[in-house]
Amino acid sequence: MAILVTEQTRLVVQGITGREGTFHTLRNRDYGTTVVAGVTPGKGGSDVDGIPVFDTVADAVRETGANTSMVFVPPRFAADAMFEAADAGIGLIVCIAEGIPAHEMLAVYTYLRPRGIRLLGPNCPGALSPGRANVGIIPAQVFAQGGVGLVSRSGTLTYQIGAELAQSGLGNSTIVGIGGDPVVGTSFIDALELFEADEQTELIVIVGEIGGNEEEKAADYIAAHVTKPVFAYIAGFTAPPGKTMGHAGAIISGSAGTAAAKKEALEAKGVRVGTNPTEVAELVTAHVGR
């Protein structure tokens, strides 16, 4: 098995006719993802390399049975695009777009959550289930299929850890990028719950970063609900005090939110934490080889 994206994924891309939308849509399709439609208002009836384009998500769902949406529209239109996907019956929305105001994301979150609609992002690389489906911008060629579930606030660190695991002969069940904004649709806890229930996932790696308290909350959840081994890496051990980091969620208040505080919280709950991506891969490899 895998989580979130599988062979049953039927993808519609909102913003398919834009440069980035077209590029990544075709990469996802070439990987094997079932891309059934695109949406660009005013361009309904056209196509992108054989993929039909519709004016609305509702039209795309009705005509193609799409169940997953990837949002590649500009930030000022992204919130409305997610509302539209939800109203059309989409069950999983993957928002690649960045720069969406936090107050708009709060409105999206409170609209989607009670309806049981899963959201990844915004400002995330998407999700990849190696050998099954890729929805987003993750470079699938560096990952292998296997039993390690990987959830991360950072895209590039995820790629490095996944590549090092693959070089060690290990693979991933699913890689989930949750995004680094202050308001995101899927938390570490959400992903941990899914990985815990997934038969293919044998152990879990979480990649956090400085700022906020999501990793601390994940540590408490792991202690109470996760039976599988969990390993972690926290980006920012060498961040200078007061340094502004790239993600909007990387906000530190006093000692709260630092890499050291997060490492302490996780290790107190039995999670082994590496101080760099290579060390995390080595910890996982050593555990599997016991």
Contacts of 67 (CB under 8 A, 6+ apart): 8, 9, 10, 61, 90, 91, 92
Give residue 184's pLDDT: 95
| Domains annotated on the chain, with CATH | 10-120 (3.40.50.720), 143-288 (3.40.50.261)
Q: How far does CA 225 lie from the centroid of its chain?
A: 21
Catalytic residues: 247
Give residue 239's pLDDT: 56
Give residue 157's pLDDT: 83
**CA 100 – CA 82 distance, rounded (Å):** 12
3-state SS class at 128: strand
Q: In the block, which residue shows the tokens 């109203």? A: 87
Length of the chain: 290
Give residue 250's pLDDT: 47
Over the chain (290 residues), what is each successive 10-residue block's mean pLDDT? 95 97 98 98 98 98 98 96 98 96 97 97 96 96 95 86 89 94 95 98 93 90 98 74 52 60 92 91 87
How many degrees, rounded to 5, is the angle at CA 194 between CA 190 and CA 198?
170
Q: Per-residue DSSP letters for 217-251?
A: HHHHHHHHH--S-EEEEEETTTPPTT---SSTT--
Give residue 255's pLDDT: 47
* Sheet hosting strand 133-136, strand order edge to edge: 133-136, 126-129, 172-177, 145-152, 203-209, 230-235, 272-274
Which stretches of the chain are assigned E, i.e. beta strand?
10-14, 34-39, 47-48, 51-54, 68-71, 92-95, 118-120, 126-129, 133-136, 145-152, 172-177, 203-209, 230-235, 272-274
